Amino acid sequence: MTIKENMVVSLSYKLTNHKTGETIEETSNDNPMVFLTGVGGVIPQFEENIDGKKVGDAFAFHIEADMAYGSPSEEKVAMIPIDVFRDEKGVFDEAYFVPGALIPMSDNEGNHLRGKILEVTSDSIKMDFNHPLAGMDLQFEGSILNVREATKDELDHGHVHGEGGHQH
């Protein structure tokens, strides 16, 4: 069975920074990437590159930053008053809020996002909300572990059910 639209694909991959070779993330045998094709769940060029492959096939390709997570934007860097980070007793945890730390936050509409601390001053924290992979050329290498047709329920819901997917 080959990969095309509306299939459930399991694959292993290693993602590296195409320019520096640094490893960004890697799937494990117990925890492959499982996704439904044709619904925009992954980067479009990622799907294009594995289209037509079958179980056991290997892949290696790279995606330029512009076609992946785009360029980092200054508009996504914000100064946030330090009081926001105090606990209910008014204590600021200096050991936790340090440059480089990734802090789970939510915006005014309750959306979850992660900010990376760039700088801590006496009254505010400079935080970067750009996607961690913004500006990076991505290199993917891996192999196709399983391919099956999506069920009608999965297509209706737009996601995978069962192993590696939604359990409901």
Nearer to Zn ion, 7 or 138 (CB): 7
CA contacts within 13 A on the Cβ side of 96: 9
What is the C-alpha separation between 82 and 121, in angstroms, rounded? 8
Residue 41 CB, shortest distance to Zn ion, in Å, is 13
Which residue type sits at 158?
G
Nearer to Zn ion, 4 or 166 (CB): 166
DSSP secondary structure of 110-130 = --EEEEEEEEE-SSEEEEE-S
Strands 58-63 and 138-149 come out as antiparallel
Residue 155 CB, shortest distance to Zn ion, in Å, is 10
Residue 62 CB, shortest distance to Zn ion, in Å, is 32
Residue of minimal CB distance from Zn ion?
Answer: 157
Full strand arrangement of the beta sheet holding 77-81:
77-81, 124-128, 112-120, 102-106
Residue 145 CB, shortest distance to Zn ion, in Å, is 22
Binding site for Zn ion (CB under 5 A): 157, 166
Nearer to Zn ion, 49 or 151 (CB): 151
Nearer to Zn ion, 19 or 166 (CB): 166
